[in-house]
Structure formats: C-alpha cells, structure tokens
C-alpha cells in the first residue's frame, strides 16, 4: 500500500517508558569482522553509537551499514564471524530512556499489544505484537475465531483510530479486505466478559 504511515515508534516522553525496547535480533553473519544482519529490525533504533544489551551484556553499535530493510551492524567486542554466529537469534535491546521520543500519532509497542482490533461492532481479533515491515509498521493480530495471524498495516487508510486507554484500535475492514474474518462483537464491561468465559475471579 502507498498510504501515509501512522508510524508508531518505540518511545514517548509523556507515557510510561518501558525498561527496554527491542531493536531487532541477531541474524546471519556478514563478512569476517563480526558484522551481522539484523532480523525484524526497528531501523530508527539501530544508529551508530547506540548503546544496547545483547544476551545480558552491554555493548555499542560500532558499524551500521546495509539498508533499512536489511541493516548490517557490528557490536563493540564482537570481532569475528564465529562470535557473531554464537549470538545468532539473540535480541537486541535498547534502553527505553535512550529510545527516540514519539510524535503525536505514535505509540509504544506495549500500548498496542492486547488491544481489540474492531470495525464498529465487528471484532477482528487482538493485537499480539507490533512488527516492522519495509514500508511501515504493522499490527500482528490473532483472529478471534482462531486461525493464522493477520497483519494490519499502520497506515491512515486502514486505521481509523488508536485508543490505547480503551484497549481498542478502530480499523477499516473493507479497505483491508478482512470483513469476512471479523465477528460481530458488542463490547461489554470487563467483569461481564470474564463471567462469559467462566472466570468470576473467586477462589475455587
């Protein structure tokens, strides 16, 4: 899609800042100097000199190359291909306090995770996580009726409203071509929803 991204980043001065923010994962090595590709990258966080934690060890990005879609980085103290291979799959974590501040229409990932994705009274599912695509970020949604996850791009034509305080994200299912995947859903108080699922909160 070519619609303008809503562009949620990972950071916000006016909200509760998470202790750490994922910037991606260590992918396959690139070359012999310890550089590697980053999978599931959050490109804004992968800047030269950025301090991060990998496998519980603090380090710094000392090389940044590649493209935004396929970034290549090298970390301080990782000086050869074998060392990079040993870290493969490890998460790259940036301190929440070091993450760039958000704009007006941007949110922390944890603010969106767990929100209902709805179009009026039609419920598509629940946000399981926020992921970065080459052109924008997207919501990974677990459908209410089960089945494979659905990706909802965070672009203005698809997103009508983001209401984290109400645990609700309003979308245009017709634009997304997902009308058939949604179920009619009347929002009820949380207490009533727990009772519907047999959870009264009382001890057995």
Per-residue pLDDT tens digits for 96-123 = 667 666 666 777 777 898 999 999 999 9
pLDDT of residue 97: 67
pLDDT of 131-180, one tens digit each?
A: 877 778 899 999 988 888 999 999 999 999 999 889 999 999 999 998 88
More confident of the two residues 54 and 5: 54
Count of CB atoms within 10 A of residue 96's CB?
A: 17
From CA 90, how far away is CA 84, in angstroms rounded? 10
pLDDT of 55-96, one tens digit each?
A: 999 999 999 999 988 999 999 999 999 999 999 999 999 876
Whether residue 69 contacts residue 31, with contact meaning beta carbons closer than 8 Å, is answered with: no
Q: Can you state the percent helix, strand and coil of the chain, rounding each to 5?
A: 15, 40, 45
More confident of the two residues 11 and 169: 169
pLDDT of residue 28: 96
Q: Where are the alpha helices (DSSP H) in the chain?
A: 81-86, 109-112, 173-176, 190-196
List the one residue out of 29, 42, 51, 10 whose CA is nearest residue 134. 42
Whether residue 185 contacts residue 121, with contact meaning beta carbons closer than 8 Å, is answered with: yes
Whether residue 124 contacts residue 143, with contact meaning beta carbons closer than 8 Å, is answered with: yes
Whether residue 147 contacts residue 141, with contact meaning beta carbons closer than 8 Å, is answered with: no
Whether residue 55 contacts residue 38, with contact meaning beta carbons closer than 8 Å, is answered with: no
pLDDT of residue 100: 66
Q: How far apart are the first and last CA of the chain?
A: 51
From CA 158, how far away is CA 175, in angstroms rounded? 6
Q: Considering the chain, what percentage of its residues have pLDDT values greater than 70?
A: 76
Classify residue 191 as exposed, middle or buried by CB count within 10 Å of its CB (0-12, 13-18, 19+): exposed
Q: Which domains does the chain have, with CATH numbers?
A: 20-98 (2.40.30.60), 109-196 (2.30.30.240)
Joined tokens for residue 107: 């949110």
More confident of the two residues 186 and 163: 163
Count of CB atoms within 10 A of residue 83's CB?
A: 15
Q: Is the dihedral of CA 62, 66, 67, 72 positive or negative?
A: negative
Joined tokens for residue 65: 């190359």
């Amino acid at each position: 899609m070519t619609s303008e991204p809503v562009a949620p980043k990972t950071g916000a001065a006016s909200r509760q800042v998470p202790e750490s923010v994922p910037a991606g994962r260590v992918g396959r090595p690139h070359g012999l100097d310890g550089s590697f590709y980053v999978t599931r990258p959050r490109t804004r966080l992968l800047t030269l000199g950025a301090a991060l934690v990998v496998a519980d060890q603090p380090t710094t990005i000392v090389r940044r190359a590649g493209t935004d879609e396929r970034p290549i980085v090298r970390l301080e103290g990782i000086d050869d291909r074998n060392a990079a291979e040993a870290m493969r799959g490890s998460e790259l974590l940036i301190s929440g306090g070091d993450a760039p501040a958000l704009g007006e229409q941007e949110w922390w990932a944890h603010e969106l995770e767990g929100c209902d994705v709805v179009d009026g009274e039609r419920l598509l599912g629940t946000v399981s996580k926020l992921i970065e695509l080459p052109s924008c970020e997207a919501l990974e949604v677990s459908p209410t009726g089960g089945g494979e996850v659905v990706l909802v791009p965070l672009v203005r034509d698809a997103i009508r409203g983001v209401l984290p305080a109400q645990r609700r994200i309003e979308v245009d299912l017709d634009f997304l071509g997902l009308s058939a995947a949604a179920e009619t859903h009347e929002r009820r108080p949380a207490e009533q929803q727990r009772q519907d699922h047999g959870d009264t909160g009382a001890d057995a």
